[in-house]
Amino acid sequence: MRSTKFISGFLGAILLAGIAAAPSFAQDQYPQYPPPGQYPPADQNQQPYPPQGQYPPAGQYPQAQYPQGQYPPPQAPYGQPPMLAPQQLDQLVQPIALYPDGLLAQVLTASTYWNEIPGAAAWANQHAYLRGDALAQGVQQDNLQWDPSVIALLPFPSALNYMAQYMGWTQALGNAVLAQRDQVMDSVQRLRQEAYNYGYLRTTQYSRIYVAGPGDIEIVPVAAGYYYVPYYDPRIVFVRPRPGFFVGDAIRFGGGITIGGAFAPWGWGGVGFGWREHTIVVDHRPWVRTWVNRTDYVHPYAYRPAPGPRIEHHEPRWGYDRDDHHEHEDHYDRDDHHDHDDHHDHDDHHEHGGDHDR
pLDDT of 352 > 50? The answer is: no
Give the pLDDT confidence of 46-64 residue by residue, as tens digits. 333 333 333 333 333 333 2
Provide the 8-state DSSP code for 345: B
For residue 342, what pLDDT is reported? 41
* Coil, strand or helix at 295: coil
* Coil, strand or helix at 130: coil
**What letters, b where the CB count within 10 A reaches 16 and e where it falls short, cover 210-225?**
ebeeebbbbbbbeeee
pLDDT of 198 > 90? The answer is: yes
Lowest mean pLDDT among 18-22, 69-73, 74-78, 135-139: 18-22
CA 254 to chain centre: 15
d(CA 210, CA 293): 33
For residue 138, what pLDDT is reported? 85
Are 66 and 167 in contact by the 8 Å Cβ rule? The answer is yes
Terminal Cα-to-Cα distance of the chain (whole angstroms): 79
Give φ, ψ of 258 to 5 degrees: -90, 125
For residue 304, what pLDDT is reported? 62
Give me the chain's average pLDDT, please: 74
For residue 139, what pLDDT is reported? 84
d(CA 314, CA 143): 11
* Coil, strand or helix at 318: coil
d(CA 45, CA 18): 25
Residues written for the chain: 358
Nearest to 158 by CA among 257, 61, 250: 257
Give the pLDDT confidence of 211-266 residue by residue, as tens digits. 999 999 999 999 999 999 999 999 999 999 999 888 988 999 988 999 988 888 88
d(CA 285, CA 105): 12
Give the pLDDT confidence of 152-197 residue by residue, as tens digits. 999 999 999 999 999 999 999 999 999 999 999 999 999 999 999 9
Which amino acid belongs to residue 53? Answer: G
Predicted TM-score (pTM) of this structure: 0.70
Provide the 8-state DSSP code for 188: H
pLDDT winner (highest mean) among 14-18, 27-31, 70-74, 217-221: 217-221
Q: Please give the C-alpha separations between residue 275 and each of 188, 267, 283, 352, in angstroms, as whole numbers.
A: 10, 18, 16, 16
d(CA 332, CA 94): 14
For residue 46, what pLDDT is reported? 32
CB contact set of 264 (below 8 Å; sequence gap of 6+):
283, 302
